[in-house]
Structure 1
């Protein structure tokens, strides 16, 4: 791989595990749903798999639920999440300064999350981060547009003035990286969230950083990226 400096003018951020640490709220929401459905609650290592992918996918893959039970599980999950879970959450240290510095540099900032748009907007508003973003785009409550590649493409379709050549997706899980590749933009993986360096590397990340400070240096063009 070649090292060179990249200047990104459009930056898409994942939400969970990238801007905020949603662990407590997501795990509590999953536990609530499982209790409602009389399903035994597994070890935390299994529950952590819910952070990142669409929840429909996680309920299907981890618990092998049928379509009807997935709909019920999602309904119970959102019952707790909408009341308490979405604010059982913390902004990662340094994120506010990062977004402020990028905004000062006239970068165009977007959120691209598989979380329903309505929840993503409420979370970012609660933490007063919404002011930094041109738009916040997620999935629909009916389960459509949950694929990260589809979400990224939707942002470009709705903003035809954007160039993919100077755009990048920042996220902590393989879905973020693979989604970026589907949309033909660069991807930076962050390991301070919930994905491992191996996961992000295997997914094809152009670069991987382990801290918000490293991410800031890369996005402000103060350090090199592997391409």
Structure 2
């Protein structure tokens, strides 16, 4: 077995979380008098650390972006967290990988506390050995930091045993920073151009492709 550890991004990889995330961003921006009616325009917030996105896309300064994240969480923890759905055949994939002996770990920039609630809500908790995300205080927010934490926690020396599965360039960059392979999925929120430019080891069109690439079948 080539890999022993499979790290899964959450948003755009295992779940279609567009509605909840974009509505939470919409709610936050409204606090500043910024009205965005087309939720498609806020899709770019899915994947990257929120604070960075408020700075990048709306030119918020550090303090304003931190407060914007707090407003985001006001809506998200009550409503947005479950305005979400699991992609078709995700549970089938997880069950097959678990049965085959892989260690499955969530690696997300979303706060760990929220990721745990989502995984439990959708009855996927039993498939994962661990769920690792960012801290509520904003630390460990990049995908590279999340992956490094996992590698250190499990004392993984042979990075060839680990693969990251994600849908955005942040997953690919984070994997490269830690010298592990990345399978980029094209059905998520990253464009095919974004994925190819970022240079993952593989690009998978669907979950069957993901399974084959992980198991070498």
The verdict on a shared fold, with TM-score over 0.5 as the criterion, is yes
Alignment correspondent of 1:61? 56
Aligned length: 217
Q: Distance in 2 between matches of 1:23 and 1:216?
A: 24
Alignment correspondent of 1:225? none
Alignment correspondent of 1:76? 71
SS in 2 for 1:83: coil
Alignment correspondent of 1:167? 162
Could you tell me whether the CA contact under 8 Å between 2:103 and 2:129 is conserved in 1? yes
Q: TM-score, normalised by structure 1?
A: 0.92
Cα drift, residue 102 of structure 1: 0.2
Q: Distance in 2 between matches of 1:78 and 1:201?
A: 32
Alignment correspondent of 1:186? 181
- Over the residues paired in the alignment, what is the CA RMSD in angstroms? 1.3
Cα drift, residue 217 of structure 1: 2.0
Alignment correspondent of 2:109? 114
Could you tell me whether the CA contact under 8 Å between 1:149 and 1:183 is conserved in 2? yes
Q: Distance in 2 between matches of 1:141 and 1:32?
A: 19
Q: Distance in 1 between matches of 2:182 and 2:150?
A: 15
Cα drift, residue 198 of structure 1: 1.8
Could you tell me whether the CA contact under 8 Å between 1:11 and 1:107 is conserved in 2? yes
Could you tell me whether the CA contact under 8 Å between 1:27 and 1:48 is conserved in 2? yes
Matched, 1:15 2:15: no
Alignment correspondent of 2:87? 92
Post-superposition Cα deviations, 1:23-58, rounded to whole Å, max 9, x if no partner, equal 000011011111122113264343010001011111
Alignment correspondent of 1:102? 97
Aligned with 2:25 (options 3, 26, 30): 30
**Structure 1 regions of 5+ residues with no counterpart?**
1-5, 223-227
Post-superposition Cα deviations, 1:118-174, rounded to whole Å, max 9, x if no partner, equal 000111010011211111000011111111111101001110156311210000000
Could you tell me whether the CA contact under 8 Å between 2:22 and 2:43 is conserved in 1? yes
**Structure 2 regions of 5+ residues with no counterpart?**
none
Cα drift, residue 64 of structure 1: 0.4
Could you tell me whether the CA contact under 8 Å between 1:10 and 1:162 is conserved in 2? no
Q: Distance in 2 between matches of 1:146 and 1:42?
A: 28
Alignment correspondent of 2:144? 149
Aligned with 1:195 (options 171, 190, 195): 190
Cα drift, residue 187 of structure 1: 0.5
Q: Distance in 2 between matches of 1:39 and 1:162?
A: 47
Q: TM-score, normalised by structure 2?
A: 0.96
- For structure 1, which segment, 204-213 or 175-184, has the greater mean C-alpha deviation from structure 2 after superposition? 204-213
Alignment correspondent of 1:3? none
